[in-house]
Amino acid sequence: MRIGFIGLGNMGGPMAANLAAAGHDVRGHDTAAPMPDGVNAADSAADAAMQADVVITMLPDGAVLRAVADQVLPAMTPGAVLLDCSTVDVDSARAVAAQAADREVHALDAPVSGGVVGATAGTLTFMVGGRAEALVTVQPLLDVMGGRTVHCGPAGNGQAAKICNNMILGATMAVTCEAFALADKLGLDRQAMYDVASTSSGQSWSLTTYCPAPGIGPQSPADNDYKPGFAAELMVKDMRLAMQAADAVDAATPVGAEALRQYAEFVETEDGRGRDFSALLLRSSRDRRH
């Protein structure tokens, strides 16, 4: 396929490189990031979108997505697909889908899970909102970039799935960090705590796959001085998107709100910026009351 790829940073760069390596004609545009191997540089986002079968975007937020959509949709061919892999607010995803439909362009919101490691390895999970027939068109590309695709329903539902998932992730990691800190203060060995919780009702992905305690369980960012696999500031972004969505539909999310408060303080007033989100254990271990 002929692909335009807008946003070639830590996630978009390896995704575009994998598509090029698979034999697709990829033309990329980014205001700062270098061109990945095999990707041809376009002068602008609109230039990358011209005559493309699929335009893929990987952008920082909904405002940037809307601005890029204003540039690329007029350049796209009717029947082409705009595949947005960013994590943005649900309203922006649905607004862009409506704007695309007015131009007879198909739009899919397809945020990802798996981080930079998954983007590089081509093992991302895609949560897709939009029309099933458009998903059929892009599925070969998703198969190159990822290992699993879940169609979540109409436009915006991919973003809804992503923020609900990450609200669970943020909250479970926060309480996992608190549990390790409590175990320390009770004199319970971390390995013993892990051995019990990882094989009983306290088990979670945050514990058994991404353990925040160094030297416990499989290798994780905790074993690399909390260099980010998923940065704490990105968790703040995703949790805020979840809280904004909850406010919009009057959903009660007090546990999510408390987890957001902890991550936001860790990033904005403490030493969490630039660290992995699991470094919240350092905050929980301090002698303080929340």
Question: Beta 2-6 vs 40-41: how paired, if at all?
Answer: unpaired
Query: Is 227 among the catalytic positions?
Result: no
Angstrom distance (rounded) from CA 194 to CA 129 = 37
145 closest CA partner among 56, 68, 64: 56
Nearest to 13 by CA among 69, 98, 85: 85
Alpha helices in the chain (DSSP H): 12-21, 45-49, 62-72, 90-102, 115-121, 132-145, 157-186, 190-197, 205-208, 232-249, 254-268, 280-285
Residues in the chain: 290
Whole-angstrom distance, CA of residue 274 vs CA of residue 122: 24
Element (H or E) spanning 144, and its range? helix 132-145
Q: Would you give the DSSP letter of residue 152?
A: E
**Can you read off the two tokens belonging to residue 213?**
């305690």
Cβ-contact 86, 115 below 8 angstroms: no
Q: How far apart are CA 153 and CA 221, in angstroms?
A: 34
Report the Cα 83 to chain-centroid distance in Å: 14
Spatial distance between the Cα atoms of 119 and 18, rounded to a whole number of angstroms: 9
Instruction: Report helix, strand or coil for 84.
Output: strand
Residues with catalytic roles: 162
